[in-house]
């Protein structure tokens, strides 16, 4: 081997090493950027605006989620002429919008775009990816002012994120679902000129299993029954009485008690098909994690059960057909309050959007 050949081989090796090192450095920077964006140091980073992409010295910086300062500027006082007292004008701040991607229960994936993009160019492409398995997929985009929102007609966006829910009552996001998501996401990205920054599957699966374990542990439903003391109730007259009591008969045959804001407080079953003529037992059911503590779903359900028992000549019993005493009901109510406290401590308040998504 000549000296020239040896020199060329050394130079070639140095170039290869340099390219590999550069690619690793770029990968490291991208991963650290995502880690900072979704760091546990933030209360809920997706609820706060981030900077728009900027260029410095020819290098483009991707948008990230940045938490706002906890302190807010006080508006200046307005003083009238003379000795009039100072009056402070305070403006009501709008409540923060809830985004469809939640850092606690979703795996968020940055879709790197090279230039601002109009919603009309990408909306139909994004809407083609709504689910993988039983897990919903959502997208959010960053406006020029740094605010994040769902992709909306007329918008011009500087950053994109996709999010897949990590768990629900159907179980944890699994490897097959995640692989399908990444494959379909790459197809979408090819169509909208974007590049997905894919999180490590091992880490995502660990998060999914942990969240699924939480769902399993807190998937609690409480029921009480109203048993007829003697003659069974006629279904036709019973349904009319239940509707007068405030129950809604849903198309699927369920009877539910609305909470007044579009959600369900508790439900009721006649324990027979709608084709049956009579029933001697009603079951009221509270889906505990889906009802906010302030609604006192358990208290409302017990009050309703007692009222039905009084009006229908029945008795409030447990699943073993044993009468429920006031002491027993009080003990259960205390357990429900402890349950709500534990959920809140975990950052998933019962009845919240997070809880409704997880326990679905």
CATH number at residue 211: 3.30.1400
Residue 291 lies in a domain: yes
Instruction: Please give the pLDDT value at position 247.
Output: 96
Tell whether 205 and 306 lie within a shared domain: no
104 shares its domain with 209: yes
Domain end call among 217, 249, 284 = 217
Last residue of a domain, one of 217, 238, 269: 217
Rama region for 261: left / alpha / beta (φ>0; ψ in -120 to 50; rest): alpha
Residue 5: its pLDDT value, please? Answer: 47
293 and 236 part of one domain: yes
The pLDDT of residue 270 is: 94
235 domain-assigned: yes
Are 346 and 250 in the same domain?
Answer: yes
Query: What total of structural domains would you count in the chain?
Result: 2
Query: Residue 351 falls within a domain, yes or no?
Result: yes
**CB–CB of 274/251 below 8 Å?**
no
> What tokens appear for 315 in the block?
């008795």
Position 253 scores a pLDDT of 77
Note whether residue 244 is domain-resident. yes
d(CA 324, CA 224): 9
- Closest-CA residue to 195 (of 109, 102, 108, 99): 109
pLDDT of residue 311: 93
Domain contains 30: no
The verdict on 48 and 108 lying in the same domain is yes
- Are 240 and 209 in the same domain? no
DSSP 70: S
pLDDT of residue 199: 97
Quote the pLDDT of residue 250: 87
The pLDDT value given to residue 96: 63
* pLDDT value of residue 89: 52
User: Which pLDDT score, from 0 to 100, does residue 92 have?
Assistant: 57
Q: Which of 263, 261, 320 is nearest to 286 (CA)?
A: 263
Domain of residue 135 covers 39-54+97-217
Q: Tell me, yes or no, whether 28 lies in a domain.
A: no
User: What does the pLDDT profile of the chain (360 residues) look like in tens digits?
Assistant: 555 445 444 545 544 445 444 444 444 444 443 344 334 333 333 333 344 343 434 444 455 543 333 333 333 333 344 444 454 555 555 556 789 999 999 999 999 999 999 999 999 999 999 999 999 999 999 999 999 999 999 999 999 999 999 999 999 999 999 999 999 999 999 999 999 999 999 999 999 999 999 999 999 999 999 999 999 999 999 999 899 889 999 887 789 999 988 899 999 999 998 789 999 999 999 999 999 999 999 999 999 999 999 999 999 999 999 999 999 999 999 999 999 999 999 999 999 999 999 999
pLDDT for the residue 88: 52
Which residues neighbour 226 within 8 Å (Cβ) at sequence distance 6 or greater?
281, 282, 284, 305, 308, 309, 312, 314, 315, 316, 317
- DSSP secondary structure string, 7-35? HHHHHHHHHHHHHHHHHHHHHHHHHHHHH
325 domain residue, yes or no: yes
Q: What are phi and psi of 259, to 5 degrees?
A: -95, 0
Give residue 333's pLDDT: 97
pTM above 0.95, yes or no: no
Predicted confidence at residue 48, as pLDDT, reads 35
Q: Does 179 lie in the same domain as 274?
A: no
């Amino acid at each position: 081997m000549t000296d020239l050949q040896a020199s060329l081989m050394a130079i070639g090796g140095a170039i290869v090493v340099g390219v590999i090192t550069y690619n690793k450095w770029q990968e490291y920077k991208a991963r650290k950027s995502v880690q900072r964006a979704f760091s546990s140091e933030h209360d809920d980073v997706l609820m706060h605006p981030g900077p728009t992409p900027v260029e410095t010295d020819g290098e483009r910086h991707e948008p990230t989620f940045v938490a706002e300062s906890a302190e807010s500027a006080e508006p200046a006082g307005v003083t009238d002429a003379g000795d009039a007292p100072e009056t402070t004008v305070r403006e009501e701040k709008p409540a923060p919008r809830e985004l469809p991607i939640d850092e606690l229960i979703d795996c968020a994936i940055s879709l790197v775009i090279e230039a601002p993009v109009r919603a009309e160019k990408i909306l139909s492409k994004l809407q083609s990816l709504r689910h993988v398995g039983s897990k919903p997929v959502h997208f959010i985009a960053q406006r020029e002012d740094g605010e994040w929102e769902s992709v909306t007609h007329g918008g011009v966006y500087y950053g994109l994120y996709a999010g897949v829910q990590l768990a629900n009552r159907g179980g944890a996001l699994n490897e097959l679902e995640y692989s399908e998501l990444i494959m379909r996401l790459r197809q979408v990205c090819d169509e909208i000129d974007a590049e997905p920054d894919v999180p490590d599957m091992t880490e995502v699966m660990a998060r999914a299993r942990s969240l699924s374990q939480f769902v399993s542990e807190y998937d609690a439903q409480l029921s009480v029954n109203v048993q007829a003391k003697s003659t069974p109730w006629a279904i036709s007259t019973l349904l009319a009485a239940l509707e007068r009591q405030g129950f809604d008969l849903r198309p699927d045959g369920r009877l539910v008690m609305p909470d007044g804001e579009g959600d369900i407080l508790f439900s009721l079953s006649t324990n027979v098909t709608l084709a049956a003529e009579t029933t001697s037992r009603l079951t009221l059911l509270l889906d505990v994690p889906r009802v906010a503590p302030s609604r006192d779903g358990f208290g409302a359900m017990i009050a309703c059960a007692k009222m039905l028992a009084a009006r229908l000549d029945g008795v409030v019993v447990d699943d073993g057909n044993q009468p429920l005493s006031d002491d027993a009901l009080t003990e259960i109510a205390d357990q429900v309050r402890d349950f709500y406290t534990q959920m809140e401590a975990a950052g998933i308040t019962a009845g919240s959007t997070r809880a409704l998504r997880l326990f679905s």
